[in-house]
Chain A
Amino acid sequence: MKIELTINGERREADVWEGESLLFTLREHLGLPGSKNACEQGECGSCSVLLDGRLVCACLVLAAQADGHEVVTVEGLGEDGQLHRVQQAFVDAGAVQCGFCTPGLVVATAALLERSPEPTDDEIREALSGNLCRCTGYQKIFDAVRAAAGATS
């Protein structure tokens, strides 16, 4: 079936299988592999994207449900070739090891700071509870989120 949606500000069309996830569409049909495919059951958050401005796991959205809607992926966060401030903060803090969870964490952090520009540590913990990182132990990620929040104010 054909679907049409806005991705990172651009109208895109895709010919998808009726049962496929938005994540599969992004990665395999639309050339946007930034959102990662790991658990495919909403446990790990590696495929986090914004659907109509709300943070969701792209693996749990039926592609057909995104028809007519607006999606922002990690590729769409930065502007004019510049990294988004959350991306820059992750680089500066060294919050990346293998890097597989990073796109999801970056999108989740951007969503958090949009809603709560100066989050407490407990808010950060709750906001990122759906994003698993198996390398860093989260300390550097927290540093990055705090730094990105500081960069706003």
Chain B
Amino acid sequence: MEVLTPRSLEEALGLKAERPDAVPIQGGTDLMVELNFDRSRPDAILNLNEVAELRGFARENGALRLGSGLTYTEVMEEELAGLLPALAEASRTVGSPQIRNRGTIGGNLGTASPAGDALPPLLVEAAEVEVASARGPRTLPLAEFLVGPKRNALAEDELVVAVRVTPSGSRQTFMKVGPRNAMVIAVCSLALAVDREREEIRAAYGSAGPVPALVTAPLGEREQFPERVAAAASPIDDVRGTAAYRRHALRVLTARALERVLT
């Protein structure tokens, strides 16, 4: 095994082009479990911790560019929490303080788990994913980036560089069902925003289909919306819950989220 530690984005993309088999590691909260339990033995690991360009976030003409190395702890800090409240709420439900200090938004995208907590809030805010390779950058909508359970649209020489999002300013929230309030992989989750300007309700569910997905409706159809979200999901039975329970929980979460956001 080999660990490659680039010091710049250019170097990182060069290494990924040379070694497309190198598995990227940022916070390590997913990959280290694989290594510790002997589930994976990559020939090379690409350590992105020293790439300064991937850290933090920047404001760009009213939009936000979240570096793929942005941690959940950083998302919870005042400035970002004010701009992306549902994402901040979701971040606070990730693991524990230890996990949130290491886990990153880019890692959530790279892993592309149906249960990724950052994904529903980003879908609701119409986020785009900026990826790059030595061939150049490209940007795609988050919904197109997520192609299946733990599968994303990255080519083998590409890395997730940032998430671009223009905060809608709409009232929004995030809710998650699990056996406790910490250290929980979502049984199911929901982000919901009410956009009064566009008279639209937007919701995205997690852990209730192969990928987190968006459901929208005109604000006037509020009463039917919980049923619509539950019907849009395609949950399965697994160790964390049954499909029937997940559908029911989504119905309840949607009604509660609407109440929270509209009152």
Q: Does B96 contact A (CB under 8 A)?
A: yes
Which residues from 180 to 205 on chain B have a C-beta closer than 8 Å to any C-beta of chain A?
181-183
CB-based contact B37/A40 at 8 Å: yes
Smallest CB-CB separation from A130: which chain B residue?
B96
1/0 contact string of A43-63 vs chain B (CB within 8 Å): 101001000001111011110
Q: Does B95 contact A (CB under 8 A)?
A: yes
Identify which of A40, A59, A62, A127 contacts B97 (C-beta below 8 A).
Answer: A127
CB-based contact A57/B37 at 8 Å: no
**A21 proximity list for chain B (CB < 8 A):** 32, 35-36
Q: Does A67 contact B (CB under 8 A)?
A: yes
Q: How far is the CA of A17 from the CA of B99 in the complex (A)?
A: 23
Smallest distance from the beta carbon of B29 to chain A beta carbons, Å? 5
Smallest CB-CB separation from B44: which chain A residue?
A18
Smallest distance from the beta carbon of A40 to chain B beta carbons, Å? 4
Q: How far is the CA of A124 from the CA of B135 in the complex (A)?
A: 48
Smallest CB-CB separation from B40: which chain A residue?
A19
Interface size on B, residues (CB 8 A): 29
Query: Total A-B pairs in contact (CB under 8 Å)?
Result: 90
Q: Does A65 contact B (CB under 8 A)?
A: yes
Smallest CB-CB separation from A60: which chain B residue?
B32
Identify which of A17, A42, A126 contacts B33 (C-beta below 8 A).
Answer: A42
Q: Does B28 contact A (CB under 8 A)?
A: yes
Which residues from 34 to 69 on chain B have a C-beta closer than 8 Å to any C-beta of chain A?
35-37, 41, 45, 47, 49
CB-based contact B182/A129 at 8 Å: yes
User: Contacts A17-B1, A42-B99, A130-B95: A65 and B28 contacting too (C-beta < 8 A)?
Assistant: yes
Q: How far is the CA of A93 from the CA of B63 in the complex (A)?
A: 50
CB-based contact B97/A108 at 8 Å: yes
Q: Does B2 contact A (CB under 8 A)?
A: yes
**B75 proximity list for chain A (CB < 8 A):** none
CB-based contact B182/A62 at 8 Å: no
Q: Does A1 contact B (CB under 8 A)?
A: yes
Q: Does A64 contact B (CB under 8 A)?
A: yes
Interface size on A, residues (CB 8 A): 29
1/0 contact string of A2-29 vs chain B (CB within 8 Å): 0000000000000001110100000000
User: Contacts A42-B33, A65-B47: A129 and B181 contacting too (C-beta < 8 A)?
Assistant: yes
Smallest distance from the beta carbon of B78 to chain A beta carbons, Å? 14
Identify which of A40, A59, A64 contacts B5 (C-beta below 8 A).
Answer: A64
**B262 proximity list for chain A (CB < 8 A):** none
Smallest distance from the beta carbon of A122 to chain B beta carbons, Å? 11
User: Contacts A41-B36, A65-B47: A129 and B28 contacting too (C-beta < 8 A)?
Assistant: no
1/0 contact string of B3-45 vs chain A (CB within 8 Å): 1010000000000000000000101110111011100010001
What 5 A-B pairs come out closest when comparing CB atoms? A130-B96, A129-B182, A18-B1, A64-B3, A40-B36
B interface residues with partner A (beta carbon < 8 Å): 1-3, 5, 25, 27-29, 31-33, 35-37, 41, 45, 47, 49, 73, 95-99, 101-102, 181-183
Given contacts A40-B33, A65-B49, A130-B96, 16 further A-B contacts (CB under 8 A): A21-B35, A21-B36, A40-B37, A41-B37, A42-B96, A42-B99, A45-B98, A56-B102, A57-B99, A59-B32, A60-B33, A60-B99, A62-B31, A62-B35, A111-B97, A130-B97
